[in-house]
Amino acid sequence: MTTTASEKPKRKPWWLPAVAVLAIGGIVAAAVAMTANDDGSNTSSGPSSGSIGDPEIRQAKWKFTLQRGPGKKFSNKQRVYFAKQRKKLKAMTREVFDALYLSPEKQRAALRANFTPKARKSYQRAGVGVPQKAEDVRIRWRSARIVIDGNARATMDVKMIARGKAGQGAFATKHRSILYAARTNDGWKVFGFNVDQNPFRKNKSSDKEEDKKNRDKKKPAKKDKKRSGGRNRRGDRS
Amino acid sequence: MAAAPIRGGRAHAEYQPKDGKIFVLILGSDARSGNPRHSRTDGVHLAGINTKTMKGGILNFPRDSWVNIPGSGSARINEALNRGGPDLAVRTIESLTGIQVDYWLLTAFEGFQKAIKDVGGKIPLPLKRGMYDSGSGARLPRGTKTLSAEESLAFVRSRKSLPGGDVDRTANHGRFLIALLRKLRGDIERRPDRMFDWMQAARKWTALDIPPHELFQLGVLTSQVKSQDVGNVTVPVRIGSVGSASVVFVQPGAQAIYDRFKEKASL
């Protein structure tokens, strides 16, 4: 039984799968290029290994302590207003330090919004935050103690411990910023600060053992108790 | 962003007057009660901060300094407060030194002691020599490391036990102010919000013409000046008399000190 050309079963061309793979690969590459920053780092919200603000990496929770400064008891109106200022300062702290450590592309905007111009320039010059091209940044500790005085002045004592990778090595930094802010017509602005940032080295287990040995060495040897002429535990003479 | 550690910290305080200098006149009244604004001053000190170099200075004026009081003739410098309040004291110092004073602060015995108490006492002022003064009640042995509020008052009041009398006392006031700065810095380092306690102590127990928001900025700025960068200088004087009154005359060499202080706001 013969069949005509129109009746023959159709075969898929052999090159079709290869073309399909190439097309998909091109689309993915284009998507990555569109989301990349000028410096080549990728801070898209989607999962990607090694990005600085990778949402897959679990960051330490913020620990906030908010208090008011010394002074007279608040009226109800002042109390309500104080609650608003607490929210604003909490948000300011998150914005600034999340930008410094997790979203460097937002750093400039965050500092511009929350610092006076001179303080902003000075803070940027201080070089706070993580190294350039940091990857896998993991914040191990972040806390802020915010005290508000008279609803017009505030101090923020912020502490951070962060680890990550930069270049060929790992880094770990311990950071403390003391920020002084005043409420202006444009909202709260940091006008003064003290900042301290140093490499952070967690006590390794071998170091702990060595410390324990050194402590034991320093302890004086127990002297033998005198037996004769003394009293025993019940108070009777032995 | 740099990866290098910020060793020793970085500080910034934005309080830039037009020429980068701030001068505060600090007056210590001898009033035990009544209005300290119209009493005599036992302490007259001009404190300066250079906001660009972050260095400072305290210039001390012995209370018996014979000076011109604007609109009132010549008298001891401690009369200025009595005759015209803090404003006249400011004008007297400005006329004498050529330095424009930005703010003034006035305290008396009771206010001084209570302010020191409110900031926690324990002023770090090691004494290499003991101080025993019947006039002030000071009983401070050699090696004393910190002063309580009562001891602080006794320290700043003592003069009879000092070889140079009132001139040495005036220099001690400067030392005490530097010790206060050391305490402020230590407090802020541990708890930055302690700045508000200091501000409250100043507003409650002293008279001053600094508005609260400027006091905060000034406090932050001051806390960033290291105590070793603050010079303590007493105006050179010689003992003399005017009529039967025992006074001291400011020496001509003082003009160079005024000029240097005016230019650099530090000593």
Contact residues on chain A for B212, CB-CB shorter than 8 A: 150, 152-153
Q: Where are the domains of chain B?
A: 21-264
Over residues B12-18, mean pLDDT: 63
pLDDT value of residue A140: 94
Contact assignment for B9 to A182 by CB distance below 8 Å: no
Over residues A59-71, mean pLDDT: 92
pLDDT value of residue B194: 95
**Nearest CB to B3; choose among A70, A131, A147:** A131
Instruction: Chain A: give the shortest CA distance to residue B232, in Å.
Output: 26
- By the 10 Å C-beta count (0-12 exposed, 13-18 middle, 19+ buried), A15 is classed as exposed
Among residues B24, B86, B104, B95, which one has the least CA distance to residue B56?
A: B24
SS3 A175: strand
CATH no., domain B21-264: 3.40.630.190
Extract the tokens encoding B256: 């160079």
Tell me the one-letter amino acid at B235.
V
The answer to whether residue A20 scores a pLDDT higher than 60 is: yes
pLDDT value of residue B7: 52
pLDDT value of residue B91: 96
Question: Chain A residue with minimal CA distance to B118?
Answer: A70
Q: How many whole angstroms separate alpha carbon B152 and alpha carbon B150?
A: 5
The answer to whether residue B261 scores a pLDDT higher than 70 is: yes
Contact residues on chain B for A193, CB-CB shorter than 8 A: 10-12
Q: Can you give the length of chain A in residues?
A: 238
Which of B7, B10, B49, B214 to mutate to probe the A interface, most A CBs <10 Å? B10
Q: Which residue has the higher pLDDT, A225 or A212?
A: A212
- Name, in order, each residue with C-beta under 8 angstroms of A67's C-beta and a sequence gap of 6 or more: A145, A146, A147, A148, B193
Name all domains of chain A by residue range, CATH numbers in brackets: 65-202 (3.10.450.50)
pLDDT value of residue A14: 76
Contact assignment for A194 to B195 by CB distance below 8 Å: no
pLDDT value of residue B98: 96
- Which pLDDT band holds residue A38 (cuts at 50, 70, 90)? very low
The sign of the torsion formed by the CA atoms of B257, B259, B262, B264 equals negative
Which of B6, B12, B52, B118 to mutate to probe the A interface, most A CBs <10 Å? B12
The pLDDT tens digits of the residues spanning B26-55 come to 999 887 766 667 788 889 999 999 988 999
Listed in sequence order, the DSSP H helices in chain A are: 16-35, 76-101, 107-114, 117-125, 205-218
- Which pLDDT band holds residue A47 (cuts at 50, 70, 90)? very low
Q: Does residue B12 belong to the interface with chain A, where contact is any CB pair within 8 Å?
A: yes
- Name, in order, each residue with C-beta under 8 angstroms of B48's C-beta and a sequence gap of 6 or more: B21, B22, B23, B24, B56, B57, B58, B59, B99, B261, B265, B266, B267
pLDDT value of residue B39: 80
pLDDT value of residue A57: 76
Average pLDDT, chain A: 76
- Name, in order, each residue with C-beta under 8 angstroms of A152's C-beta and a sequence gap of 6 or more: A182, A183, B212, B213
Give the position of tokens 């990496």. A57
Q: How many whole angstroms separate alpha carbon B121 and alpha carbon B180?
A: 10
The pLDDT tens digits of the residues spanning B195-231 come to 999 999 999 999 999 988 889 999 999 999 999 999 9
pLDDT value of residue A17: 72
Contact assignment for B10 to A126 by CB distance below 8 Å: yes
Instruction: Chain A: give the shortest CA distance to residue B2, in Å.
Output: 5
In chain B, the percentage of residues whose pLDDT exceeds 70 is 91
Over residues B108-133, mean pLDDT: 91
pLDDT value of residue A42: 38
Question: Chain B residue with minimal CA distance to A155?
Answer: B193
- By the 10 Å C-beta count (0-12 exposed, 13-18 middle, 19+ buried), B196 is classed as buried
The pLDDT tens digits of the residues spanning B88-106 come to 999 999 999 999 999 999 9
Q: Does residue B190 belong to the interface with chain A, where contact is any CB pair within 8 Å?
A: no
Quote the DSSP letter at residue A58: P
Phi (first) and psi of residue A189, to 5 degrees: -135, 135
Tell me the one-letter amino acid at A21.
V
Helix (H) or strand (E) holding B183: helix B166-190
pLDDT value of residue B69: 95
Tell me the one-letter amino acid at B222.
T
Extract the tokens encoding A133: 């091209």
Tell me the one-letter amino acid at A112.
R
**Nearest CB to A198; choose among B5, B11, B195:** B5
